[in-house]
Amino acid sequence: MTRALVPGSFDPVTNGHLDIIGRAAGMFESVLVAVARNSTKSPLFTLQERMDMLSEACAAFDNVEVGSFEGLLVEYAARQGASVVVRGLRAVSDFEYELQMALMNRRLNAAVETAFLMTGTEYSYLSSSIVKEIARLGGSVEGLVPDHVGERLRQQVERSGS
Ligand code: ADP
């Protein structure tokens, strides 16, 4: 049985993430979506909120679980029995950073392989940052994130008064 880890900030989860998670769920027996606690980015949503939104969005997949981690990804993967890390690639601009991370992770633990899935064309322009920006400016995020995430974004933007 191969267990795959799909790590990220998921601030918040988008339909682009869900495309990658769904495809990974079709390729591997078990998928653990892992929210990074110690992101250098300062997130809009708390760790718990990001995990709750992901759990709701992934409820339809019966082989997908949601967890969180801090510290080294390869150590978390080993503790969780995951031998593959799945990442999504949108554009050439993602490549350099992803290559660096994948090579460093292999150096830290050669037993954990990184696999890349190309974005679905309709999601190639989609990122959590652009979704947050649209929500802040009062635009519609319909079709970019699940409806319940769109609702949370609207509430969060109202709360922060921006
Ligand atoms: P990170 O902060 O680690 O980049 P993100 O939450 O932004 O975390 O992204 C998690 C993973 O999902 C990354 O591999 C990223 O490349 C991928 N991803 C994000 N948006 C998309 C998208 N629209 N299509 C495909 N993959 C995506």
Ligand 1 atom 2, closest CA? 9
pLDDT at 155 over 90: yes
φ, ψ of residue 148 to 5 degrees: the values are -65, -30
What is the pLDDT averaged over residues 19-41?
Answer: 93
| Two tokens, residue 60 | 């339809």
| Tens of pLDDT, residues 60-116 | 999 999 999 999 999 999 999 999 999 999 988 899 999 999 999 999 999 999 999
Positions marked catalytic: 17, 41, 90, 128
Number of H helices, E strands in the chain: 6, 5
> Quick check: 114 and 105 in contact, CB under 8 A?
yes
Degrees to nearest 5, angle at CA 67 with 54 and 63: 70
Task: From 90, 121, 129, 141, give the residue whose CB has the most ligand 1 atoms within 8 Å, as the site to mutate.
Answer: 90
What is d(CA 30, CA 134) in angstroms, rounded to the nearest whole number? 34
pLDDT at 124 over 70: yes
Output the six-digit token pair for 133. Answer: 């920006």
